[in-house]
Amino acid sequence: MILNVTDRDGTRHALEALDGWRVMEVIRDWGLPITAECGGACSCATCHVYVDEAWLDKLPPRSEEEEEKLDEAFDVRDNSRLSCQILMRDELDGLHVTLAAGPR
């Protein structure tokens, strides 16, 4: 399956992803610049991404824990998610996310 990622420079990457992997893991393992300090434990907000509007309804809603962590992120939008909280599955083949800017 494919995960489409737009990096902070606006370049789009089509990354091969495995079923059950976290979006954060796919992005990190392909070498794109995502910090992901906590490694997927939902205890930081350094894997913040923007989910393409066309995909939002295919994702489960944000958990309370994810909402709290997003409060610590920069430039949070309605389509903001923590990429460690999105697991790849067949229904998400082609998912498109954009890396959010980090602290300045």
pLDDT digits (tens, 9 = 90+) for 49-61: 999 999 999 999 9
- What's 87's domain CATH number? 3.10.20.30
15 versus 33: the higher-pLDDT residue is 15
Q: Which residue has the higher pLDDT, 16 or 42?
A: 16
Report the distance separating Cα 104 and Cα 89, nearest Å: 33
- Domain assignment present for residue 29? The answer is yes
| Range of lowest pLDDT (12-16, 24-28, 43-47, 67-71) | 43-47
Residues 34-92 pLDDT 10s: 988 887 778 889 999 999 999 999 999 999 999 999 998 989 999 999 999 999 999 99
Residue 54 lies in a domain: yes
User: Would the pLDDT of 103 be above 80?
Assistant: no
pLDDT score recorded for residue 101: 86
- Give the domain extent around 78: 2-99
Per-residue pLDDT, averaged over 24-32, amounts to 95
Within a domain: residue 104? no
Residue 92 lies in a domain: yes
Please indicate, yes or no, if residue 40 is contained in any of the structural domains: yes
51 lies in some domain: yes
Q: What is the count of structural domains for the chain? A: 1
Specify if 20 maps to a domain: yes
Q: Residue 59 domain-assigned?
A: yes
Q: What SS3 string covers the chain?
A: CEEEEECCCCCEEEEECCCCCEHHHHHHHCCCCCCCCCCCCCCCCCCEEEECHHHHHHCCCCCHHHHHHHCCCCCCCCCEEEHHHCECCHHHCCCEEEECCCCC
